[in-house]
Structure 1
Amino acid sequence: MYDEQGAQYLDCINNVAHVGHCHPLVVQAAHEQNQVLNTNSRFLHDNLVDYAQRLSRTLPKKLCVFYFLNSGWLGRAHLFCRSSEANDLALRLARQYTGHQDVVVLDHAYHGHLSSLIDISPYKFRDLDGQKEWVHVAPLPDTYRGPYREDHPDPAAAYADEVKRVLSSAQERGRKIAAFFAESLPSVGGQVIPPAGYFPRVAEHVRSAGGVFIADEIQVGFGRVGTQFWAFQLQGEGFVPDIVTMGKPIGNGHPLACVATTQAMAKAFEATGVEYFNTFGGSPVSCAVGLAVLDVLEKEQLQAHAASVGSFLMELLGQQKAKHPIIGDVRGVGLFIGVDLIKDKATRTPATEEADYLVSRLKENYILMSTDGPGRNVLKFKPPMCFSSDNARHMVAKLDAILTDMEEEVRSCETLQLWPQPSSAQ
């Protein structure tokens, strides 16, 4: 990225510019379609169906109905045919299908800025009006900071049992569950990687309670995790959510989002007779942009690139962890990585002030970084997918130099002694 004076910054956090800032092929696709037609989705256009078909090839066959929105607008594409709007629609679909109201979410989660989504975002509602009676919060499946850590024999089962307990408690109070709503990789919660097998177990408990499973892929989808196209696929080949929401990277900065679901859920939604229509959802230009993003991902092999560069970056950051005691944990997959900064290894107290200082120093060195997590102490890496090995080396070298400076400053302060002043004559 460049500022108004032409200074160049290395962007390590912008997961919206998924295939790179102002990628020429994406810009060209939008420009060319704008010159031909851009109108609302009451007018049929091939781009809508073409795009839905392309997306369908990346997902399990069960997820075959697509609703396109902006902010992650709405049009419906038949294959029989954040983003806030996408997650709000997912909530409506789940409630209509199940006939239930309540939602289970993970602690520290954030799902959008609409009122319906603030209500299911502990990250926000705890600072506002508090928790609604229809919202139930399960522990974040964090094996570094949570109750079941890396030394637990089966953290996936243990965290899934916590969800089961939340469900049982809600049912004992007469509450009926519509959905379990979770980011496939919790981001705001601190770049958390749920243990493998956690989602399938949770889905079993939730479906037994009459609810559905909603996977929020708005920050982590479209090949970011490297080994898979969608982050929920990290949980096992047999696991399929009932609803998947997409946004942010889907349009490389263009306002585009999508909800993918099953025919059964879509039919239940439409049975109300209340049509869901959004003027700009699935517009010709938006779908042209979405298609161009998929084209770039394929042509530039960015999913494989994310796997390769992400693995290299994890290796470099692991070396820094061995060198600098402030780094308590390095976790991630593909180009979704968190560096957990701590004050001491025994208590794993979040190094919040140090993290804030480090981000400021990195910016002075023309590197854009940010923090996440309840303690605002986790450095988050979610760069554009074109982020290279050379970019990784450059960023880690600057990180190393700044951490070394910070450690030297601490040692200098520790060696300073305040000598007693001579007492004045009586």
Structure 2
Amino acid sequence: MKMSEFRNDQVVLDIKDKPKALQWFGLSLQHLFTMFGATVLVPILVGIDPGIALLSSGLGTIVYMLTTGAKIPAYLGSSFAFIPAMQMLMKSDGYPAVAQGAITTGLVYVIVAYIIKKIGSEWINQVLPPIVVGPVVMVIGLGLAGNAATNAMYDGAGNYDPKLILVALVTLALTIIFNMFLKGFIGLLPILLGIISGYVFALLMGIVDTAPIAEASWFAMPNFEIPFVQYQPKLHIGAIMTMAPIAFVTMTEHIGHLTVLNKLTRRNFFEDPGLSRTLLGDGLAQITAGFIGGPPVTSYGENIGVLAITKVHSVFVLGGAAVLAIILGFVGKVSAVILSIPGPVISGISFILFGVIAASGLKILIDNKIDFDKKRNLIIASVILVVGIGGLMFKVGPFELSGMALATLFGIFLNQVLPKEARSEQA
């Protein structure tokens, strides 16, 4: 039997099954709630309109589905991997630089997809083995730790305020409780529940400005950032060099999610529609986000978790969630509420999220049994961690490489040039 004709009878709804109308809405709403907290947190941290992030998330998911022939039940939301680079670029050159970086990362995906289609994918493991990917992922999380701590301690004027720390710690504690003790579908929403609970506590502490919410209209156009319409694009070499290397890191996440989906759906998406097609879909989704003003998008493990629990694998349900996200992007009140979330609440959530990202990098090293008694592995990991977390930057005129990009490039380079064993380790 061809994979296109295969149907998984062990699930409630298989990939091509269409649910009934009311059921369809409810199931799609679940996926919307699941991705919502993380998807809007990224634009808040970077300084991008949350409405445009929701819109780019929905559009990106639809682009991905169209590119892959609607064969894969996946949802794409705002990527955390690019946060440090986007924060730096927003401060220096504004969104046009971020957009160019996002479009570039998408083009990297497109190029890699083409190469894979021509010669296969084995070379990816040679360029990005676990000893490189693990520490780089750790840098993504740990590099953001300082921002989370600062926002939990200081107000907008730079004054230390114990009240803010209390809000951050309460948000953190409640999020941990939700994550550890809730189960079922609601157990998949600790981030969203943590934000809501922290927001309520912040209201009680009097640190939330609700005036913009009351003034916001129900319908509002998202803050589009479209080249030649909102701004005249120019070449941002620094943005390209900063964000392009990170694309190789997020590709490993992409491959990991496909592996999980293969087991979950009893298919082989590496064969049909093929890794080249899935990477192409992800790349085109990122390019779409960059052209309208959103952050780069990537497939979400949270939504894969929903697939596993509900046993509803229908692409119609994921497509419905994408449509709901697009609609929500035009609701001005929603963006106003999101923008009113105070820094300490975001910090409380970030203490977990950034730590989870770093721990995920550590897990990659553990799962692949990386031996740190070998000098080669120790050197590669050490250089990546210190260069990345330390924020080392190489800049000559408009050419700029940030700590994250440098760390990735150093890791790739050292992995290629260092021998398998140091002379002192040879018998």
**Is the pair's TM-score, using the shorter chain for normalization, greater than 0.5?**
no
More helix per residue? 2
TM-score by length of 2: 0.25
More strand per residue? 1
Bigger relative CO (Cα 8 Å, ≥ 6 apart): 2
Point out the structure with max Rg over C-alpha. Answer: 1
TM-score by length of 1: 0.25
